[in-house]
């Protein structure tokens, strides 16, 4: 397999840094390296809600992740690779971008997900000598950025990130930009990631024991070159069609609710975020195939979103809770989110807006009810019910785990001439409802350096089932199937 220049540079830089220091090499040789092996079985039916042939997923995949880490004084370095082999195109990685296989039937294969691939997940160098606090570190390189609710950051990306983590104050400041996927199959970035810089900062203060209040900010500067449609030339799905500048500012408060080890009788979280900025978008060709009078349009955008939740501990093992989220019609997330968190109170992170539907905070409101169970560090389970609506019944919702289409067929042969995303029915706000179940059995703990807490997805070996069944609402119309499901069985073992 031919590696792109970014991958080669990342491999060379990482291992040169790791092994240039004899002390670091010795430490690594002694204890700070390992292998995480993950086997994932996936069953998925009707992601397209029955609007096209095929599209179902039933397969098993092997995901092997070797990693190496070392420290020398205030310096540290880390690298993690990845090799995936599977019987179908399945998701062995919860951070896998949802648009990974959207070009599967496109003439452009530069972003076509394959069954087998190699990747570099992380490679970074850290320095923790600016302050005497053990929770302070500056990292440079491709790294895992994650905040507790997963709604601002939860991804692997090239960044310069400074973290300050103490008992009373937690803060992050950084700049990030995606230059490559560092995968042998995904040769190009998604159009949204091309030439897009992220600047972010957040700080939270523990004003009384167990209760935090914080501020968060994020700015994206997107100045990528726009690709304008040309008459007679087929559109490329990887063409960049919009750019601009957007800024998010938010305030949050919580009772350490995302820390599954806390023993509070009542846990809560609350956040409110405002978004404002400007966007330039390419205009499509006219109906007759000619160029439009104006090649692009500029517009101001603004919106807001909130996420609220409360969780009650019935006894040391059982918890119940409710959550509500709402995002205005023009609000959108910054593109680095996974929306996965420990909001149910267990060690397992669960998708905030459905394991099957995978909604985003864009023209959507949701109500969730859940119950969870945790038996020491050995077992946990979460059962979640979601109900989803559109805020504006005449506008679309953000990308999610549904890929329903509207086909244009040839009257004679029945062949599909063109396919586009299924438009939602005007005036209908009901997106649907879902039931999720996540159950995990943990086997053994491993002692890892504190600096790896974000990089290693799971702290122990485990077997996990995670799945959801989604019933589409009236907004999808009457011609779609009545149910879709997505389910995974993960087996993770660390050596």
Q: Per-residue pLDDT for 124 more than 50?
A: yes
Is 122 part of a structural domain of the chain?
yes
Q: Give the number of other Cβ atoms within 10 Å of residue 347's Cβ.
A: 18
User: Average of pLDDT values for 84-108?
Assistant: 71
* CATH label of the domain that carries residue 201: 2.40.160.100
* Strand pairing category for 364-375 and 379-390: antiparallel
What DSSP string describes 405-460? EEEEE-TTT--EEEEEEPPPPTT--EEEEEEEEEEEEEEEE----GGGTTTSS-SE
On whether the CB atoms of residues 225 and 239 are closer than 8 A, the answer is no
Report the C-alpha gap between 466 and 490 in whole angstroms: 8
What angle, rounded to 10 degrees, do the helices at 5-19 and 22-30 form?
A: 90
Is 412 part of a structural domain of the chain?
yes
User: Average of pLDDT values for 201-206?
Assistant: 98
pLDDT per residue over 222-241, tens digit each?
Answer: 988 888 888 877 778 888 88
Element (H, E) at 6: helix 5-19
Query: CA end-to-end span of the chain, whole Å?
Result: 27
pLDDT per residue over 393-445, tens digit each?
Answer: 999 998 778 888 776 655 556 555 556 778 899 999 999 999 999 999 998 76
Report the C-alpha gap between 476 and 13 in whole angstroms: 49
Is 39 part of a structural domain of the chain?
yes
Is 19 part of a structural domain of the chain?
no
On whether the CB atoms of residues 164 and 197 are closer than 8 A, the answer is no
Element (H, E) at 65: strand 57-72
- In the three-class reduction of DSSP (H, G, I as helix; E, B as strand; rest coil), residue 23 is classed as helix
User: Average of pLDDT values for 345-352?
Assistant: 96
Q: Per-residue pLDDT for 117 more than 70?
A: yes
* Strand pairing category for 117-127 and 136-146: antiparallel
Return the higher-pLDDT residue of 446 and 77.
Answer: 77
Q: Per-residue pLDDT for 11 more than 80?
A: no
Is 401 part of a structural domain of the chain?
yes
Compute the mean pLDDT over every residue in the chain, rounded to the nearest whole number: 87
On whether the CB atoms of residues 452 and 402 are closer than 8 A, the answer is no
Report the C-alpha gap between 493 and 445 in whole angstroms: 10
Q: Per-residue pLDDT for 35 more than 80?
A: yes
pTM here is: 0.88
Is 394 part of a structural domain of the chain?
yes
- In the three-class reduction of DSSP (H, G, I as helix; E, B as strand; rest coil), residue 215 is classed as strand
Number of domains in the chain: 1
Residue span of the structural domain in which 473 resides? 29-494
How high is the pLDDT of residue 353? 96
On whether the CB atoms of residues 234 and 200 are closer than 8 A, the answer is no
- CA proximity to 135, closest of 167, 166, 171, 162: 166
Is 292 part of a structural domain of the chain?
yes
Is 13 part of a structural domain of the chain?
no
- CA proximity to 99, closest of 86, 89, 112: 112
Beta bridge partners of 202: 172, 216
Q: Which residues contact 354 (CB under 8 A, 6 or more apart)?
A: 386, 388, 401, 434, 436, 468, 470
- CA proximity to 99, closest of 420, 335, 334: 335
């Amino acid at each position: 397999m031919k590696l792109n220049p970014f991958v080669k540079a990342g491999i060379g830089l990482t291992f040169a840094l790791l092994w240039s220091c004899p002390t670091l090499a010795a430490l690594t040789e002694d204890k700070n390296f390992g292998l995480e092996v993950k086997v994932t079985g996936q069953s998925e039916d009707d992601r397209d809600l029955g609007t096209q042939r095929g599209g179902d997923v039933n397969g098993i995949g092997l995901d092997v992740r070797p990693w190496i880490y070392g420290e020398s004084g205030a310096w540290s370095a880390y690298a993690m690779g990845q090799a995936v082999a599977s019987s179908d195109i399945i998701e062995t990685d919860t951070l896998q971008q949802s648009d990974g296989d959207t070009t599967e039937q496109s003439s452009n294969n530069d972003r076509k997900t394959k069954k087998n691939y190699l990747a570099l997940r992380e490679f970074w160098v850290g320095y923790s000598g600016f302050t005497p606090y053990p929770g302070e570190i500056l990292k440079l390189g491709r790294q895992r950025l994650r905040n507790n609710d997963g709604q601002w950051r939860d991804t692997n990306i090239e960044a310069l990130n400074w973290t300050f983590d103490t008992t009373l104050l937690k803060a992050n400041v950084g700049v990030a930009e995606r230059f490559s996927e560092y995968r042998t199959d995904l040769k190009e970035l998604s159009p949204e990631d091309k030439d897009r810089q992220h600047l972010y900062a957040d700080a939270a203060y523990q004003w009384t024991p167990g209760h935090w209040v914080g501020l968060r900010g994020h700015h994206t500067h997107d100045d990528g070159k726009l690709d304008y449609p040309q008459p007679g030339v087929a559109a490329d799905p990887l063409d960049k069609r919009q750019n601009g500048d957007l800024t998010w500012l938010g305030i949050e408060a919580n009772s350490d609710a995302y820390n599954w080890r806390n023993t509070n009788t009542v846990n809560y979280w609350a956040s409110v975020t405002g978004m404002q900025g400007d966007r330039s978008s390419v205009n499509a060709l006219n109906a007759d195939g000619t160029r439009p009078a104006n090649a692009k349009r500029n517009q101001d955008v603004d919106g807001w979103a909130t996420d609220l939740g409360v969780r009650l501990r019935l006894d040391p093992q059982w918890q119940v809770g409710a959550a509500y989220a709402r995002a205005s019609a023009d609000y959108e997330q910054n593109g680095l989110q996974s929306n996965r968190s420990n909001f149910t109170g267990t060690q397992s992170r669960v998708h905030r807006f459905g394991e099957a539907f995978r909604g985003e905070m864009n023209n959507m409101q949701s109500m969730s009810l859940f119950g969870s169970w945790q038996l020491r560090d050995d077992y946990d389970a979460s059962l979640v019910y979601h109900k989803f609506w559109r805020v504006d019944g005449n506008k679309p919702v953000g990308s999610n785990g549904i890929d329903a289409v509207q086909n244009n067929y040839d009257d004679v042969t029945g062949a599909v001439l063109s396919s586009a995303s299924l438009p939602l029915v005007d005036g209908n706000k009901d997106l649907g409802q879902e039931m999720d179940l996540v159950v995990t059995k943990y086997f053994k703990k491993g002692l890892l350096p504190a600096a790896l807490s974000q990089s290693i997805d799971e702290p122990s070996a485990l077997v996990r089932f995670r799945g959801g069944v989604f019933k589409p609402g009236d907004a999808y119309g009457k011609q779609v199937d009545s149910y879709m499901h997505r389910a995974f069985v993960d087996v993770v073992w660390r050596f």
